[in-house]
Amino acid sequence: MPEIISPLPGIFYRRPGPGKDPFVEPGQRIEVGQTLGIVEIMKQFTEVQADVSGVVESFAVEEGAMVNPGDVLAVIATEGVQ
């Protein structure tokens, strides 16, 4: 199944801001270019977008966890998705 990779190190967030709803929940459908999360580094917040369409199978990283470049953030199920 396709994996969404973090291109940079930093702190991973699934929401656009504190107290806001997550960008997307497991089980929800996403499209190419849709934001899955944010990585914070050097006082900058970089949105990580899906490069495939499908259904979010799971997140591989907890909210607020440290990620490194190349780490898997989420797994996307594309099978059977039109």
Partner 1 sequence: MALEIITPGLSTTVQDRGRSGYYNVGIPQCGSMDRYSSEIANALVGNDSGPGTGAAVLECSYVGPTFRVDAVTSIAVAGAPVEVKVNGEPRPQWARLELKPGDEVSFGVIKGGTKFCVAVRGGIDVPMVLGSRSTYVLGAFGGFQGRKLAAGDVLPIGVANGPLPHAAQLPENHIPRFTGPRELRVIMGLYAHRLTERGRALFLESEWTLTPVADRMGLRYDGPGVEWVERKQPFGAGSDPSNIVDAGYAVGSIQIPGGTQPIVLHRDAVSGGGYAMVGTVISADMDLLARSAPGTKTRFTEVTMDTALEARRTEARRLREAIASLG
Task: Name the site residues for partner 1 (rule: CB under 8 A).
Answer: 5, 7-11, 40-44, 46, 66, 68-70
Q: Which two tokens stand for residue 45?
A: 């917040």
Q: Please, what is the minimum distance in Å from the beta carbon of residue 25 to partner 1?
A: 26
d(CA 19, CA 27) in angstroms, rounded, equals: 21
d(CA 73, CA 7) in angstroms, rounded, equals: 10
Closer residue to partner 1 (CB): 55 or 61: 61
Q: Which two tokens stand for residue 57?
A: 């199978």
Burial annotation 6-26 (CB, 10 A radius, 16+ → b, else e)? bebbbebbbeeeeeeeebbee
Closer residue to partner 1 (CB): 26 or 69: 69
Closer residue to partner 1 (CB): 34 or 46: 46
Q: Please, what is the minimum distance in Å from the beta carbon of residue 66 to partner 1?
A: 7
Q: Please, what is the minimum distance in Å from the beta carbon of residue 59 to partner 1?
A: 19
